């Protein structure tokens, strides 16, 4: 069942999230399944637990490949708990981002182009991946939510922040 997503301005989006201490519990699986439904219902590329008012270090993301948008790479559904990010190198690139907590807006945000991320899935199984490009961007965006950081806080030049319908008329792109 889809859950309401908190919008920017809600103080709960600014809190530091706590680590998950118990894995593979019915409560955790129920929470994760509600988050997946919410992300898919709202056509998001990702969702972090603080966005539904749960202060735990849980993010998930998924991008289904769509032949209509060949420049958007697919990302398998990933549930990432207690994540640790390590940038590989120091190269950063700016790219457009949106957020389910800031509907209808897009901003140009610098992110590391390559990184390693690790953590656990809901069963407590280890995840350890090296990724780049859009995948790396989505992970950084979602994990920022666990530290109370929303993407506009990272925009270098606020002239690159606006309504997606104005910036990209007629061209939908995924919310994060
Ligand atoms: Ni977001």
Contact 123, 24 (CB under 8 A): yes
The answer on pLDDT for 69 being more than 70 is: no
Question: Is 3 part of a structural domain of the chain?
Answer: no
Contact 17, 56 (CB under 8 A): yes
Question: Is 159 part of a structural domain of the chain?
Answer: yes
Determine the Cα–Cα distance for residues 23 and 113; give it in Å rounded to an integer.
Answer: 31
Mean pLDDT over the full length of the chain? 94
Question: Is 31 part of a structural domain of the chain?
Answer: yes
Q: Which residue in 27, 62, 91, 142 is the catalytic one?
A: 142
96 CA to centre of ligand 1 in angstroms: 12
123 CA to centre of ligand 1 in angstroms: 24
Q: Which domain holds residue 19?
A: 11-167
According to the model, what pLDDT value does residue 73 have? 83
56: CATH: 3.90.45.10
26 CA to centre of ligand 1 in angstroms: 26
Q: Residues within 5 Å of ion ligand 1 by Cβ?
A: 99, 176
Starting at the edge strand that comes first in sequence, how are the strands of the sheet with 114-120 ordered?
46-48, 58-63, 75-87, 114-120, 126-132
Count of the separate structural domains present in the chain: 1
Please confirm, yes or no, whether 142 is among the known catalytic residues.
yes
According to the model, what pLDDT value does residue 131 have? 98
Backbone angles phi, psi at 152, to 5 degrees: -60, -25
According to the model, what pLDDT value does residue 66 have? 75
According to the model, what pLDDT value does residue 54 have? 98
Question: Is 119 part of a structural domain of the chain?
Answer: yes
Question: Is 2 part of a structural domain of the chain?
Answer: no
138 CA to centre of ligand 1 in angstroms: 9
Question: Is 94 part of a structural domain of the chain?
Answer: yes
Rounded mean pLDDT, 2-11: 94
Question: Is 15 part of a structural domain of the chain?
Answer: yes
176 CA to centre of ligand 1 in angstroms: 5
Contact 137, 123 (CB under 8 A): no
3-state secondary structure of 30: helix
- What global pTM score does this model have? 0.94
Rounded mean pLDDT, 151-171: 94
Question: Is 176 part of a structural domain of the chain?
Answer: no
């Amino acid at each position: 069942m889809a859950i309401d997503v908190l919008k920017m301005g809600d103080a709960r989006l600014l809190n530091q999230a706590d680590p998950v201490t118990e894995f593979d519990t019915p409560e955790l699986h129920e929470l994760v399944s509600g988050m997946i439904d919410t992300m898919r219902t709202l056509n998001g590329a990702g969702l972090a637990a603080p966005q539904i008012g749960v202060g735990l270090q849980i993010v998930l993301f998924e991008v289904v490949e769509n032949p209509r948008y060949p420049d958007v790479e697919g990302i398998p559904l990933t549930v990432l708990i207690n994540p640790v990010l390590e940038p590989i190198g120091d190269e950063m690139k700016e790219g457009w981002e949106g957020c389910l907590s800031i509907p209808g807006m897009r901003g140009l945000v610098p992110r590391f182009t390559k990184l390693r991320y690790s953590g656990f899935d809901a069963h407590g199984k280890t995840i350890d991946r090296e990724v780049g490009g859009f995948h790396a961007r989505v992970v950084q965006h979602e994990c920022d939510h666990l530290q109370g950081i929303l993407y506009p806080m990272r925009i270098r030049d606020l002239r690159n922040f606006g309504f997606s319908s104005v910036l990209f008329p007629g061209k939908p792109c995924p919310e994060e």
